[in-house]
Structure 1
Amino acid sequence: MPRNWIVDAFTVAKPTVIQPLQMARSTITVSFDHWLADNELDLLGVVAHYLDSNVELKTVLLALKPTDKIGYFVADNAANNDAALRLLSHHIDVKPAKQRLRCSGHVINLVVKATLYGVDNECMLDAALSEADHGGDSELYDTSTVSKFEAALRSKDEASRLDAWRRKGPIGKLHNLIVHIKSGSAGRRFFEAKQVETDTRLYRVIVNEGVRWNSACEMVERAFQVKDALQLYQEHFRSSGTDRLDNRDCLSAVDWQELTDLLKLLRPLKEASLKVLAVAKDGQNGALWQSLSILDWLLSTVEGLNKTLPRNHFRACVNLGWKKLDKYYALSDATPAYRKTSWLEGADEVMNRAWQDAKRRWPNEVIVLSPKQQEMDAFDAYNHDIDDDTDNDELARYLREERAPQGTRPLTWWREHHHRFPVLRHLAFEILAAPASSSADERIFSMAGDVVNDERPNTMEELAKAYQGLRSWYSEGLL
């Protein structure tokens, strides 16, 4: 069978996908990201998130073709994504400021990178602490220092990499200590022997991978599980011959205390990350409506931790993380969608404006008669005295609804009650179909790695796009 059969199938299948998009009950949120494959092929992933005719959430890979039902765009926080929307607005009806959603997972990643790697343990500490004390708003430390750190990690010189980690305080020391353990069979065997002496279970140490913060959290958690064995290991190798551990990579009691404080921050950040990166099949974890409340929770967590810290390296790091988080929290003001989903200050005003706009967008679905009048015949309805005009207002009726039982999934509730709110349901569907992050693109890129890699350097762009398109559509039941 010729290999272009996939391209032919992709072309034939397009109507099968486009028709459900046209029948979507919600507007369509588009997330996109760029990916450079292993064989140097440039790909742009574009994913549609929407509620189908059965009010089921769909996450579908699209061909590169805009539709007239686009609601929002989800992408990471790179400035070129803002520029892309501005350019797109010249060709289709897109309002970059109002329709720009920021990937919450990327925001959390930036916060953790600023916290873990934004301050060098030596030359920048005093300046960063001074800024923390006086509420400075410079991003010099986290932005430039993280960039230099990332560049150092790409070095082929192992000594340069170890030195770069060493400047990051206890997290860097722990990294280097674990690298030392994993670097040779003698070190691994000695460490396992010390575990046997101190515990009944054997654990493998975890090393953080570059600046991927999830593994940093896991590395510190595992370090506390094997703390006694790590202490014995470093005491032995800090003075042993050719395999000697650099004394600068040995953890002190003060370092362990800082790692304890670090876990108090990394654990809620990890929890938040798992929530926003999930697939919101029931409009729950991974949905846009959670984004602002999660950021608000993280701000409160970081502020509370910052108040308890001494004037040390970690306090300077936490301050930088807080500033990064506060920056993106403030940027959410530019996009009304975030305030529609929230009880926070300013949400009522934004919701009222959105409601008035919704009545203009869907005038044919505005209920003219109140529910009481709808139950009467025409003559009785005409003579009925309406005591409360808000009965005629869907938003007011919705706000008077009894709170749903704890644990009720938002999408489940709207699937059952949307017929009672013919205009408001459009706003609800619009929000519930929008994801909190662009992680769908990343998942597709991971799968695409099996198709476009060094072992398949001649894969055609059309073949790669068609294969992934069919794969995505099949998984969502569209084929």
Structure 2
Amino acid sequence: MSRRRRTLHTFLNLNDENADDVKMMHRMHTSFDRKHFQRLLIEWIVDESLPFRITDSSRFHALCSYLNPEVEAQQAIITRTTIRTRIVSEFNRHQAHVIDVLQRAPGQIHFAFDGWRSKNRKNVYGLACFFRDEQTNQPRKIILGMPEVAGCHAGDTIGSSIVKLINAYKIGNKTGYFTLDNASNMDTAMEFIGNVFGFDGRRRRGRCFGHILNLAAKALLNPLPNEGDAIDQYLDDNEQLTSAQYELWRRQGPVGKLRILVIAVDQSDRLNDMFLTCQKTEYAASANPGDRKRKPLQLVKDNQTRWLGTYYMIKRALRLRQYMELTRIKFQQAWEQDNRKTTG
């Protein structure tokens, strides 16, 4: 799309033959801080997790130029390569300050780390450290990083990534205790870390109390303790479940049956449309203006990694119980009608 380049003349409707207008144009030109604009641009990209290539967009250039022609006149928009270079430079500058604070911290520095897989299937481990501030003598915590752990979740692989991050902050000699979950690979990871820094990893490991509570709650919800792993392994699976898997969840009791219904609505366009339509119909017929503005809600599907996932699934289902029941009735009626047409 062709466009005319905007200038201060056209932007402010100024006359370059008028002395006052010329002075105003000069003030506008000199008041634009190119470095400050670029810093704001980088902070915006980082805060909003935007792709670096956004500055390559001609639409973005047109928008900035429309808001202030000096952006284009002074070539203030930087490339994706420059953005990356400056972000790395800023990180290194701040990391140096963090290293200084941690090295001056009195006593040992303690750690906690746990794994997580992103939507693009990257396995990362977040490492947090806890220490006493030298100046205020108050406890503080800092996230040191989230290194990607390639391959399997073996304890040695995890431990190696954590050791590299601790060494990057030069605090290996101040290593204290670690709070971790109850996974078996954490034993191997702590053994690896202990061998590197010269201590018994088993004696420096604390168990995450929140993880223990989560395991206890899952055990209470599952009346089939010997089949808990077989049940959990399907929670993150988007494929259609087999009859054997459905039967396993039915035997789990009310929670398992609710999970079957939630997944059925989630995977079926027809069921999901019925479910949302039931809500919309009732809201539209309400005499309360507030109800008529309400938006339909989806059911919440639990998963294996979200600790309160089952709680939120039950809570949302109780809130939408009447619409779930109405959807079941409508779907049964539709199925019976279709079946009569087929057999008739």
TM-score by length of 1: 0.39
Partner of 1:49: 130
Q: Which amino acid aligns with 2:201?
A: P
User: 1:204 aligned to 2:297?
Assistant: yes
Cα distance in structure 2, aligned partners of 1:199 and 1:224: 23
Shift in CA distance, 192/35, structure 1 to aligned 2, threshold 3 Å? closer
Q: Is this contact kept in 1: 2:263–2:301, CA < 8 A?
A: no
Q: Is this contact kept in 2: 1:29–1:72, CA < 8 A?
A: yes
Q: Is this contact kept in 2: 1:75–1:81, CA < 8 A?
A: yes
Cα distance in structure 2, aligned partners of 1:179 and 1:36: 22
**Could you give the per-residue CA deviations for residues 377-408 of structure 1, whole angstroms, max 9, x where no partner exists?**
xxxxxxxxxxxxxxxxxxxxxxxxxxxxxxxx
User: 1:58 aligned to 2:140?
Assistant: yes
Q: Is this contact kept in 2: 1:175–1:207, CA < 8 A?
A: no
Indicate the SS of the match to 2:309: helix
User: 1:71 aligned to 2:176?
Assistant: yes
Shift in CA distance, 50/208, structure 1 to aligned 2, threshold 3 Å? same
Shift in CA distance, 45/187, structure 1 to aligned 2, threshold 3 Å? closer
Shift in CA distance, 243/50, structure 1 to aligned 2, threshold 3 Å? farther
Partner of 2:240: 157
Q: Which structure has the larger Rg over C-alpha atoms? A: 2
Shift in CA distance, 24/118, structure 1 to aligned 2, threshold 3 Å? farther
- Any gaps of 5 or more consecutive residues in structure 1? 120-140, 245-479
Shift in CA distance, 243/49, structure 1 to aligned 2, threshold 3 Å? farther
Q: Percent identity?
A: 25
**Could you give the per-residue CA deviations for residues 337-379 of structure 1, whole angstroms, max 9, x where no partner exists?**
xxxxxxxxxxxxxxxxxxxxxxxxxxxxxxxxxxxxxxxxxxx
Partner of 1:346: none
After TM superposition, the structure 1 = structure 2 runs for residues 7-86 of structure 1, keeping only pairs within 5 Å, are 7-35=88-116, 43-53=124-134, 54-62=136-144, 63-65=165-167, 66-86=171-191
Cα distance in structure 2, aligned partners of 1:208 and 1:95: 41
Partner of 1:222: 316
**Could you give the per-residue CA deviations for residues 181-204 of structure 1, whole angstroms, max 9, x where no partner exists?**
553323321355467889975663
Indicate the SS of the match to 1:3: helix
User: 1:107 aligned to 2:212?
Assistant: yes
Cα distance in structure 2, aligned partners of 1:149 and 1:8: 47
Cα distance in structure 2, aligned partners of 1:192 and 1:243: 24
Partner of 2:202: 97
Q: Which amino acid aligns with 2:166?
A: L
Partner of 1:148: 230
Greater relative CO (CA pairs within 8 A, separation 6+)? 1
**Could you give the per-residue CA deviations for residues 250-294 of structure 1, whole angstroms, max 9, x where no partner exists?**
xxxxxxxxxxxxxxxxxxxxxxxxxxxxxxxxxxxxxxxxxxxxx
Q: Is this contact kept in 1: 2:109–2:174, CA < 8 A?
A: yes
Q: Which amino acid aligns with 1:29?
A: H
Deviation at 1:148, TM superposition (A): 1.4
Shift in CA distance, 43/191, structure 1 to aligned 2, threshold 3 Å? closer
Q: Which amino acid aligns with 1:209?
A: D
Indicate the SS of the match to 1:234: helix
Partner of 1:477: none
Cα distance in structure 1, aligned partners of 2:287 and 2:323: 9
Indicate the SS of the match to 2:252: coil
